[in-house]
Amino acid sequence: MAKKMTKGETSRRKDTTQPRARSKVKRFAEMDALVQWIGVAMPKATIVRKPSGAMFQTGTKIFAFTRPEGVAMKLPEARIAELVESRDASFLVMGTKTMREWVLVRYSSPGEFTKDGRLFEEAMKFVASLKK
């Protein structure tokens, strides 16, 4: 049963009469350049653009997507461990869950992602090899 308010108390409920302000979504700074590069370098990849970023697919499976701090790619767990040791990369964390087969690669200079053509190809091949 709901508690009855006494004189002078205010409701703790949110004011739903006002429209909710939209948060400004941060995008990967070089998303447009990355999308263009993937389109040329990987013609078999499908690119899905969203206001917040882009996803890269092979068939219906996602092999990479942009994050505000870099690019997430799906790779085998052992390969991700190698990347974490050798460069600015980490296992992807979504909320409180650490994703075992997703790595977040951070790029420190413009166009640096173009050096990772083989890594993007590796992610695409890995995802294509997985069973549905």
Q: What is the pTM of this model?
A: 0.76
Query: Which residues on adjacent β-strands are paired with residue 94?
Result: 97
Is 90 exceeded by the pLDDT of residue 79?
Answer: yes
Q: What is the pLDDT of residue 18?
A: 52
Length of the chain: 132
pLDDT in tens, 21-51: 444 556 677 888 888 989 898 989 999 998 8
Please report which residue ranges of the chain form alpha helices under DSSP H: 31-41, 77-86, 117-129
Average pLDDT, the chain: 84
The alpha carbon torsion through 42, 88, 83, 78 (nearest 10 deg) reads -110
Per domain, the residue ranges of the chain are: 31-129
Three-class SS state of 19: coil
Structural fold of domain 31-129: Aspartate Aminotransferase, domain 1 (3.90.1150)
